[in-house]
Amino acid sequence: MKQEEKLHELQDLLVELKTVVVAYSGGVDSTFLLAVALKTLGQDNVLAVTANSETLPERELEEAKEFATSLGAHHQVIETSELAVEGFDDNLQNRCYLCRDNLFENLRPILEGEGFENIIFGLITDDMGEHRPGVVAAREHGVRGPLQEVKLYKDEIRALSQEMGLSTWNKPSYACLASRIAYEEKITIEKLEKVDKAEQCVQSFGVHQVRVRAHEQIARIEVETGDMEKVLNHNDEITRQLRELGFVYVTLDLAGYKSGSMNAALATESAK
């Protein structure tokens, strides 16, 4: 099915939902979903809600506010805390479930208080082949993922976003900062801030897409293949800055950037 046909299916699905609260991060997928919802349902039938927590960098929050304003959306920012959720900081395989469960619990009172009928979020088809316990939480709360339901993929969403004039069409993919820390390694505010600053360091040398994965004292840098030369050209400065942040060893992953790469360890464990 062509992406334009999927877009029409998405609009039909949103019409069926009538009024929606959009769990809005300001990323490529949720911005596209918000834009289509606004165009399809109208401003008064759509509410964007962004959860501000320890795992969301300040710059991402500010961008979410800017994008929502530019789209003319009604937008609320709520304060949440994943680290206050029992078991989240243990960083086990169910971490994303606990995060999403907490998010949807916080969105439910807004849904009911504002008189909206459905909560939707930016789940996409690419996500379904990965370890995504957050999807289980969504199903338990009756939260819908319209982009995935019409089988839209990331590259299609980027293309459609560009056609719609959305500035997020080529924004780097983003995930919460907790996803940078190896499973079973305790999550702390200090570690979240460390990986955030490490990624800003690498990006400052013109790198578009980056993850700095923290494995205790090791920083494993993931960038797209075309950006590896930039990292190598500035390896001395990047190493110096990341060591100042507290990493002892700084490495470049030759496999390149991959969303959810920490889950490879889970696959290895399950195969034993």
- Tell me the CB-side half-sphere exposure of residue 51, using CA atoms within 13 A: 23
Q: How many CB atoms lie within 10 A of CB 206?
A: 11
Q: How many helices (H) and strands (E) does the chain have?
A: 11, 7
DSSP annotation of 181 reads B
Nearest one of 210, 206, 214 to 242, comparing CA atoms: 214
d(CA 88, CA 91): 6
* Secondary structure in 3-state letters for 104-128: HHHHHHHHHHHCCCEEECCCCHHHH
Q: 3-state DSSP helix/strand/coil percent for the chain, to nearest 5?
A: 55, 15, 30
CB neighbourhood size of 229 (10 A):
10
Query: Which are the catalytic amino acids?
Result: 176
